[in-house]
Every structure is written in structure tokens, then in C-alpha cells.
Amino acid sequence: MSLAALTVHEAAKLLAGGEISSVELTTAALERIEQLDARVKAYVTLTPELALEQARAADAARAGGEGAGQPLLGVPVALKDVLVTEGVRTTCSSRILESYVPVYDGTAVARLRSRGAVFLGKTNCDEFAMGSSTENSGFFPTHNPWDLDTVPGGSSGGSAAAVAADECIYSLGTDTGGSIRQPAALCGVTGIKPTYGRISRFGLVAFASSLDQIGPFTKDAEDAALVLNALCGRDVMDSTSVGRPVPDFAAALTGDLAGVRVGVPSEYFAAGLEPGVEAAVREALKVLERAGAVVDECSLPSTDYALDTYYIIAPAEASANLARFDGVRYGFSKEASDVWGEYNATREAGFGAEVKRRIILGTYVLSAGYYDAYYLKAQKVRTLIKQEFDAAFERFDVLVAPTSPSVAFRIGEKTNDPLAMYLSDVLTIPVNMAGLPGMSIPCGLSDGLPVGLQIIGRAFDEETVLRVGHCYQQQTDFHRQRPAL
């Protein structure tokens, strides 16, 4: 097996045993990137010098006896380009930040750095994380390693594609309406969005602050648990991070589902779900039953309103968050005869069409005379969605459903139809609206492309979500399948 194809836990074991070095592992990943990324285009910025420097430091730390209990020490990771990284260009895949180099690390990045992670580079995404296909990048689209003519999903498509193509051992992404789970499904990897507040958002360039959450892409659920152990916890720099104790997520991976109650929301199997996707998910439910789970149907009646609600709340928050990008403090500036002309010219040239669309929509729903009709009403519907999840979790330990209504679609297929593109996240958005943890794991193929199984848990119960995902992966091998690049 190529070193670049290792999981985190496999790499950690080999590193701890002295069978490989971090420099060897990092070199293998960099060689894989050099071999494939001209076709996949997962990365916006590569940092090979930094990576090898960190790898040498990790090897020295292990030689000095500092590696015990540090599974991420010396293991290469890719970072979505919305995560502020000291000394490394951070563009949000936007022309307006094309030359921005931060002078500090965001908390998630800092926590990985403190554990000896090796930073390979920054991954491509939809501009400012706004999109479902990574075609909205200000630089270039990313290609799905399973079929280079198809999208990898979005907005964290570069992070998902990098893991699927073995161009890193694991990666970080962000999820505002499905931007970890949907690309994980389309690229056939494991991706988890933890509970809102579980991981600090300090240093995450904000899209929609009440929805954004950082999480990992990995090759299996065991790796996801190890990465979450490093990332989670209270941070005084983020008032929305929660001070609950962080469990050992890896300890929850018992391999046993005896008595676990699994709910299947009927609304997630509605019209528009591809037959191949439904067949794979239904078969996965049978696997969970054979592993000891008790499976029964349930209902989340407000699911149909989640998409509409999201596309009021998220653009409204984006409109406020992106007001700071005016060419004065960040990015490039376009000259004009007065300051307002300069702002307009800079934002016109710096933002792409999708970002402009959402800023305009968000400004409209927050404007005088429309706030109550749209934004306030959307927040009330959001509360109903959360209450319905709460009621379902009185009966069930997890909810299981498809992650995406379709497998990966062709590049360019939906770019001229924003509504069709938005519907790609119809099954993931409700989880963000309720602030719950959700994970996507591979559960089969349809037309030769991966299908994702979505596992949704109670707030701050990532342990059960991971337990279910891990048990499923012990019974199947879909997570071990790789594209033939």
C-alpha cells in the first residue's frame, strides 16, 4: 500500500513503531499531489517547505520521546482555504483575498499545529464557502476523483477530493448547510459536522455565523474520532464555543449497536431522490439492523421548509459578514474618484456571481419593511425544525437518511440553474438549522459513483453518531474503495 493511502490510525501506529518517518509519509503525500493534482485541482496553495519542516520537527519530537498519545503527530493534513493560517495565503477561493496572508492561526489550525500536524496546503472551495459543487471558486473548479468530469460537491470540495485521491491523510472543511457531508458523500469519504459550538470558529472566515461549523474529512470513522479529540473544546476567543467536557470519541467505537434506536425520516425519501441512492441507503439500514440496531420510521414535517428558511437566514448573515471586505483592510483595491466608488469597484471585481447573489438576497431580507416578513419568520420556522428533531430524539438515538439526493453530477450541469444547485443540500440543511451533529459515510455506488449515508445525532452526542458509523464500516468495505486515478 502507498503511504499516502494510509488512514490516520494506521499512520500513527507505523510512526509510533518507528516503521516509517513523518518525512517519508509527507514526501509520499507531496509526490501524490504532484502526480495527480493537475487533474483533480484540490489545492489552491501548496506548502511543501512548511510541510517538510513540520515533518522533521515531528520526527525529532518522537525521537525525543514526545510522541506518546499524539496520533496526529507527523501526519499530513490539508486545510480548507477559509481557515486562517499563520504565514500561509488564505484566500477563501476569492479574488478579493487573493494575496491575503494572515499573521495568526485560527483555533482549529492552532490546535492541530500544537499536536504536531503537518500542513500540506490550503484546499479549493466555493468562494467564501458559498456553493454545492466547488465550481464557484474564484480560481478554478475542483474535479471529483471518481470521475473527473463530475463535481466533488461543495463547498468543501477540495478537502473531500484531496482525501478521496489520497492527496492527504485527512483534511478540514466547514459545514454551513451541508458543506462537509455533501462532498463527503459525492467523493466517497467520511465527513462529520459536529454540534454547533463543539469546535471554535475563531479564525474561520465567516459565511453564516449561526450555522458555520468546522469538521474533518477522513478515510473512516475511527480517524474522524481521533481528529475530533484534537479539535473540540471551549475557546475564550469564540463566545459561541461551548464549555462542555470533551469525551474521548475514540472510546465510543465499540463495534456494537445492540439496542441502538435508529429513526428513518420519511421526508428524506421524497421525490427527487435518485433510485440508486435510495437502494444503497435502504440496504445500509438492513446492515444496521443485522448489527443489532432497532430501525423504525419517523417524521420531520417541517423538512420541506428547511431549504427556504436556510436561503433567508444564511444570506442575511453573509450580507453582514462580508461587508468588511471593501479593499481597504483586505485583498486588492480598485481605484475610483471617491471612497464609495472604490468600495463598489473593489467588490464588483473581487466577488463572484454566487457571492453577489447571496449578498443582495441577504440585504433584501434584512431591509426595512421585509425583515418581519422574511428574516423573522424564517427564524420562527428554524425553531420548529429544531423542536421536531428534539421530539424525534425522544424516540431514537440517531436518525439515518441519504446525505445527498443524487450522486455527483457533471461539471457545468447546474451552474445556470441556482435552484437546482441549492437542492443538492436539501437533505443536509435541516441539521445545520437545528445545530446538530451529522456524519456522512460511504454506503455503496450508483452508476459507479459513491452514495453517502447520513447519520444525525442529538446535540453533543457525536459519540453515538461515530459509534453507528464505525459499526457500519466494520460490516462493509465501501469506505476502503478508492477511485482508479
Residue 31 pLDDT exceeds 80? yes
* Domain coordinates in residue numbering, the chain: 3-255
SS3 443: strand
First to last CA, the chain: 15
Annotation says 80 is catalytic: yes
Strands 398-402 and 449-457: antiparallel
Give CA–CA dist 20/10, Å, rounded. Answer: 11
pLDDT tens across 188-220, in order? 999 999 999 999 999 999 999 999 999 999 999
Res 276: pLDDT: 98
Q: How large is the angle between the packed helices 221-231 and 462-475, nearest 10 degrees?
A: 160
Q: How many CB atoms lie within 10 A of CB 275?
A: 8
Residue 419 pLDDT exceeds 90? no
Would you place residue 331 in the very low, low, confident or very high pLDDT band (cuts 50, 70, 90)? Answer: low
Closest CA to 186 of 253, 311, 274, 271: 274
What is the per-residue burial (b if ≥16 Cβ within 10 Å, else e) of 156-192?
bbbbbbbbbbbbbbbbbbbbbbbbbbbbbbbbbbbbb
Which of 225-229, 314-318, 419-423 shows the lowest per-residue confidence on average (mean pLDDT)? Answer: 419-423
Closest CA to 344 of 323, 320, 362, 365: 323
What is the longest distance spanned by two Cα atoms in the chain?
70
Res 261: pLDDT: 98
Annotation says 179 is catalytic: yes
Closest CA to 453 of 236, 240, 295: 295
* CATH homologous superfamily, domain 3-255: Amidase signature (AS) domain (3.90.1300.10)
For residue 265, list its beta bridge partners. Answer: 298
Residue 436: C-alpha distances to residues 176, 245, 455, 471 (Å)? 12, 17, 11, 21
Q: Would you say 221 and 439 are in contact if contact means Cβ atoms under 8 Å apart? A: yes
Q: What is the mean pLDDT of residues 429-452?
A: 98
Q: How large is the angle between the packed helices 377-392 and 303-321, nearest 10 degrees?
A: 130
pTM of the model: 0.97
Res 316: pLDDT: 97
Residue 59 pLDDT exceeds 80? yes
The grid coordinates of residue 213 equal: 461549523
Which of 197-211, 334-348, 366-380, 462-476 shows the lowest per-residue confidence on average (mean pLDDT)? Answer: 334-348
Instruction: Identify the active-site residue in 159, 179, 404, 440.
Output: 179
Instruction: Identify the active-site residue in 80, 193, 219, 414.
Output: 80
Q: How many CB atoms lie within 10 A of CB 317?
A: 21
Res 380: pLDDT: 97
Name residue 216's amino acid: P
Verify cis geometry, omega within 30 degrees of 0, for the bond prior to 406: no
The grid coordinates of residue 120 equal: 500540506
Residue 179 pLDDT exceeds 90? yes
Contacts of 106 (CB under 8 A, 6+ apart): 83, 84, 85, 200, 202, 203, 204
Give CA–CA dist 12/443, Å, rounded. Answer: 26
Residues, the chain, total?
485
